[in-house]
Amino acid sequence: MRQDYKKLFSHLKVEEPPAHLFINILKQVEKNQRTYARNRFIFNTVALMVSVVALIPAVYFLISEMTQSGFYRYLMLIFSDSGIVANYWQNFGFLLLESLPVLSLTMVLAAFFGLFYFFRRILANSKFYLIKI
């Protein structure tokens, strides 16, 4: 049966797609690629700028919190009174941890990683952007 119907369907007229259709599809793909590349470039650049802008106050905040919590002074003890620090290293460790400005440190690290990540993305895609945009 299959052969019969296969033969029957071989009589079915096969429509030729218009000659320009192939080119139109590729042009449309190219157009979409350009739009995506532009949007990605804008997004990465804006995100990089936001990271840079956020990093500055985050660093100031970290310095201020390190001073206020006494972390900086405790840290300096390692160099000024290393003998005492060595004797009471467990207590000293807890003290350091307690005074660690976690919030501001997280903010600085987040901004720094954001900066690094988006900068890397821009660099990695720079060739693609230059061709497509």
Residue from 28, 35, 68, 106 touching another protein (CB under 8 A): that is 28
In the stretch 36-75, what mask flags binding to another protein with x, by CB under 8 A?
----------------------------------------
Collect all residues with Cβ–Cβ distance below 8 Å to 9 and sequence separation of at least 6: none
Number of residues interacting with another protein: please give it, by CB under 8 A. 25
Nearest approach, Cβ of 121 to another protein (angstroms)?
Answer: 16
Determine which helix (DSSP H) or strand (DSSP E) holds 71, and give its type and residue range: helix 71-80
Establish if 12 lies at the interface with another protein (CB under 8 A): yes
User: Where do the DSSP E strands lie in the chain?
Assistant: none
Establish if 14 lies at the interface with another protein (CB under 8 A): yes
Residue 108, class by beta-carbon neighbours within 10 Å (0-12 exposed, 13-18 middle, 19+ buried)?
buried
- Region of 70 (left: φ > 0; alpha: ψ -120 to 50; beta: rest) is left
Q: What does the binding site for another protein look like in residue numbers (CB under 8 A)?
A: 1, 4-9, 11-18, 21-22, 24-26, 28-30, 32-33
